[in-house]
């Protein structure tokens, strides 16, 4: 869809993960992707690419819980991705947390369980950061 919508715009590039070969950008995005990565190795690989390919900011929209429902779609696995970031990418800190105004606690079937966060690289950005653990420790996600 993105390739089709922006095919005339040569400033944008859209590639599949398997075609990624080290390019970087100021901003990388993961929108409604993380909880669809059900295999641990693929999740880890995608997260590493997401952060390593960003020069300055990473935006993520996803669930942020390790709670999975007893009955849920086979293509969904919820993860506490903020804990992964703290452990695997400690040079990134929370720049902004945008709460979901329509958040429904533990209602994974509605899609209203998502949070949106913006992380900044401490190596590049010298501004004030929030603690990522503030978001990671919240029980409502």
pLDDT at residue 130 greater than cutoff 60: no
Share of the chain above pLDDT 70, in %: 74
Distances (CA, A) of 6 to 24, 29, 137: 19, 16, 38
pLDDT at residue 116 greater than cutoff 70: yes
Confidence band of 135 (pLDDT split at 50, 70, 90) = low
Which domains, and CATH codes, for the chain?
Answer: 25-136 (3.40.50.150)
The sign of the CA dihedral 48, 71, 117, 27 is positive
Residue 98 is predicted with a pLDDT of: 81
Here the tokens at position 121 are 């690289």
pLDDT of 20-72, one tens digit each? 889 898 899 888 888 889 999 999 999 999 999 999 999 998 888 887 767 67
SS3 for 92-137 is EEEEEEECCCCCCCCCCCCCCCCEEEEEEECCCCCCCCECHHHHHC
């Amino acid at each position: 869809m993105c390739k089709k919508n922006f095919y005339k715009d040569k400033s944008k590039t859209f590639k599949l993960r398997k075609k990624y070969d080290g390019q970087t950008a100021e901003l990388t995005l993961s929108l409604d992707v993380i909880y669809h990565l059900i295999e641990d190795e693929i999740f880890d690989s995608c997260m590493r690419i997401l952060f390593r390919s960003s020069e300055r900011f990473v935006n993520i929209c996803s669930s942020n819980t390790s709670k999975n429902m007893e009955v849920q779609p086979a293509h969904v696995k919820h993860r506490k991705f903020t804990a992964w970031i703290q452990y695997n990418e400690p040079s990134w800190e929370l720049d902004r947390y945008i709460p979901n105004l329509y958040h429904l606690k533990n209602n994974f079937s509605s899609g209203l369980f998502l949070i949106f966060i913006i992380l900044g690289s401490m190596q590049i950005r010298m501004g004030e950061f929030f603690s990522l653990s503030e978001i990671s420790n919240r029980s409502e996600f």
